[in-house]
Amino acid sequence: MPPATTFRLTLPIEENSKRKPRCDPYPRLMARFYEPYFLLCSLGKTRNSYTEYPRSGSRQQEMRREYMRNLAFICDGKKGRYTFTAFSVAEVDGAYVFCLASPSPRKCKIMLERSIGTLVEYAITADNKKKKRIVQKFLRKCIEHAKKRVSAYINDVKAAIPACIEKMANKSNRNNDAHVEGLRLLLAHCRDNESGHVNTCVAMYRTSKSALMRKLYEEEKLEKNWYVDQKFSGDENGCFARVRHSIGRLASRIHKPLLLLLNAALMQDILQSAKVEVIEQSPCAPKPEADSQTTLPAILRRMFPKDDLDVANAEQALVDLQETWRKPLTRYMDCERECNPFVHSEVSVLEHFYKYKLKFLEGDRYVYCSKPACFACKLYFAEHPARMVVPESHGKVYPNWGPPLIENFKKKDADSDRQRDLMIKITKTVRDEVVDHLWGRNVPPEWHPDSTTGVSTLEMSLHGLEDDIVASKGDNHVVLYASDVNYRVGSSPEGELLHEIGHAFNESSASLRSSGLEGYQPHDEDDLDEDNSDEEGGASL
């Protein structure tokens, strides 16, 4: 990057009299995307609220999607993007191939393969004592695989609970005493060591269904209203939201593996014929460097029609915002300097299926991910000619997003033309989002984590009863999924199983050493830089 652009603190608001034309079509196409994209990032990374998981008209398809998402979830062992897991299932020569993309492919592949083996074992086992041993081993291994993520959430809870206790104790409400005591007991359960992780997750699972969670939600709403009244930026959650979110994420380390086990019989045919293959790394299109045309007036002229009077209005709006805490022109150059784009895993899975014309399982063009997609990935899926199911999204933009590289980009080349058309559509949507923000037509929501708390659906989706699960092999059989039946704790084999979880994990773990899962000890060769933030939409490969 030329010295004149390397150390710019803010995006220049004056024209450069010595502008050089951008002659290469590929960098020009990428620049047309990144310019409004960086502007959007500078106006605020949180663009939309969560969008829900896409619904299906088929009950079996809905069941399969949830099951596969839960499989992806247990493979994601760290906060941040470094173990983000995405896969889809292809039908190849009578087998079901799980095409997996992750920045830690070895770890995620081993975890997925061994988990599938355990789920098949559970599905075909009739002996109840053996099934309970499988449950104990599986839950332990899922939590062990996610020990860094579990540790991060435990530390979040430990850091935020004292602030919650202080705020609640200062209120003249005698009803708070029981909840304050509940928080103190919960804090005592937060043991950040591998031997204590299972019991901590069990405690959080139980807490997630308690009156304390409802109280935390009420306090969270009051806290957010206070932030709004004080005109705080809202870039992070308060203590009540942090505690509630972390409890939900830790509870999911019990909740989702249980769902996988309880519904393994319904997925048995797929799991028994499953093979896991890692998708090759997808190189990313390079980000063009800032040049003499990287100025605010020039960028806005490329965003608006020729001679549009709104160019001056948009420029003035951004200059005015520069005087506020947002400082978009400064943030723009921060994005420009720090951007190191990569292809998110869900995009790599999409392109792999499209390139090799693979047949999706039951024709369902869906990519299963360990957490929701980012703003740009959602646009990529929506506009892609593969006509994919548009994934759930947390609605955030991240500067490090980038499309796959097209080698020898040129006119009248099928791949080049396809990406050109795709990026033009995405760029138009990004430009519209910037303009809507500047004109006040689109008010972004408050900051929220990339992952959902999961508490609101926790109890509802744990409705699986082993006695009520009927395999779908016969024409006259009715398929029930674990979220279809009215659940009462203790009223079924599942209720008894959940009741025994706390006792089971106090037993010796010696029996685990002889199991296949216990034999898997992750190495660090797949590890990338540590990042305890949950702030990134996808994962590099």
Q: What is the 3-state secondary structure (H, E, C) of 474-504?
A: CCCCCCCCCCCCCCCCCCCHHHHHHHHHHHH
Under 8 Å between Cβ of 463 and 485? yes
Q: Which amino acid is at 535?
A: E
Mean pLDDT of 115-143: 94
Distance CA 346, CA 368 (A): 8
Give the residue with greater pLDDT, 436 vs 394: 436
Tell me what pLDDT residue 448 has.
Answer: 59
For residue 137, pLDDT over 90 is answered with yes
**412: alpha, beta or left, given left = phi > 0 and alpha = psi -120 to 50?**
left
Q: pLDDT exceeding 70 applies to what percent of the chain?
A: 77
Mean pLDDT of 123-145: 93
Tell me what pLDDT residue 446 has.
Answer: 67
Looking at 1-90, list the stretches that DSSP marks H as alpha helix, in order from N- to C-terminal side: 3-6, 25-43, 59-75
Pairing mode of beta strands 274-278, 95-101:
parallel
- Burial class (CB within 10 angstroms; exposed 0-12, middle 13-18, buried 19+) of 282: buried
Query: For the chain, how big is the Rg over CA atoms in Å?
Result: 25
Reported as a pLDDT band with limits 50, 70 and 90, residue 7 is: low
Q: Which of 98-107, 140-149, 176-185, 376-385 is predicted least confidently?
A: 176-185
Residues 6+ away with beta carbon under 8 Å from 512: 137, 140, 141, 518
Partners of 274 in beta bridges: 96
Tell me what pLDDT residue 19 has.
Answer: 73
Nearest to 285 by CA among 386, 401, 367, 380: 401
Distance CA 402, CA 284 (A): 6
Q: What is the DSSP letter of 466?
A: G
Reported as a pLDDT band with limits 50, 70 and 90, residue 481 is: very low
Under 8 Å between Cβ of 198 and 140? yes
Tell me what pLDDT residue 513 has.
Answer: 38
DSSP SS3 for 90? strand
Q: Which of 174-178, 304-308, 529-533 is predicted least confidently?
A: 529-533
- For 291-308, the pLDDT digits (tens) are 888 999 999 999 999 888
For residue 348, pLDDT over 60 is answered with yes
Give the residue with greater pLDDT, 485 vs 11: 11
Mean pLDDT of 167-194: 84
The pair of structure tokens assigned to 340 is 């190191």
The pair of structure tokens assigned to 121 is 């074992």
Which value, to the nearest 10 degrees, does the dihedral of the CA atoms of residues 264, 270, 273, 278 take?
-100
End-to-end CA distance of the chain: 26
* Alpha carbon separation from 513 to 90, 263, 285, 302, 504 (Å, rounded): 34, 26, 45, 62, 16
Under 8 Å between Cβ of 538 and 373? yes
- Would you list the DSSP string of 267-283? THHHHHTEEEEEPPP-P
* Alpha carbon separation from 345 to 30, 379, 507, 540, 541 (Å, rounded): 20, 15, 39, 6, 7
The pair of structure tokens assigned to 332 is 């723009």
Phi then psi for 318, rounded to 5 degrees? -70, -40
State the chain's mean pLDDT as an integer. 81
- Burial class (CB within 10 angstroms; exposed 0-12, middle 13-18, buried 19+) of 364: middle
- For 193-227, the pLDDT digits (tens) are 877 899 999 999 989 888 899 999 898 888 877 77
Distance CA 112, CA 97 (A): 12
Reported as a pLDDT band with limits 50, 70 and 90, residue 274 is: very high
Tell me what pLDDT residue 282 has.
Answer: 86
> ∠ CA 498-503-505 to the nearest 5 degrees?
95
DSSP SS3 for 168? helix
Give the residue with greater pLDDT, 446 vs 10: 10
Mean pLDDT of 183-197: 86
Q: Which of 85-99, 113-127, 518-532 is predicted least confidently?
A: 518-532
For residue 111, pLDDT over 60 is answered with yes
Tell me what pLDDT residue 454 has.
Answer: 54
Mean pLDDT of 531-537: 46
Distance CA 88, CA 99 (A): 6
Count of H-run helices and E-run strands, the chain: 19, 4
For residue 519, pLDDT over 50 is answered with no
Distance CA 302, CA 295 (A): 11
* This prediction's pTM: 0.82
DSSP SS3 for 342? strand
Under 8 Å between Cβ of 100 and 277? yes
Distance CA 363, CA 163 (A): 50
At how many degrees (to 10) do helices 414-438 and 296-303 cross? 110
Place of tokens 């047309």: 32
The pair of structure tokens assigned to 202 is 């069990």
Q: Which amino acid is at 162?
A: P
Tell me what pLDDT residue 224 has.
Answer: 79
Tell me what pLDDT residue 120 has.
Answer: 98
Tell me what pLDDT residue 283 has.
Answer: 94
Q: pLDDT exceeding 90 applies to what percent of the chain?
A: 55
Mean pLDDT of 126-142: 93
Residues 6+ away with beta carbon under 8 Å from 41: 331, 332, 335, 397, 398, 399
Tell me what pLDDT residue 267 has.
Answer: 96
The pair of structure tokens assigned to 393 is 């999204």
Mean pLDDT of 69-93: 89
Under 8 Å between Cβ of 243 and 213? no
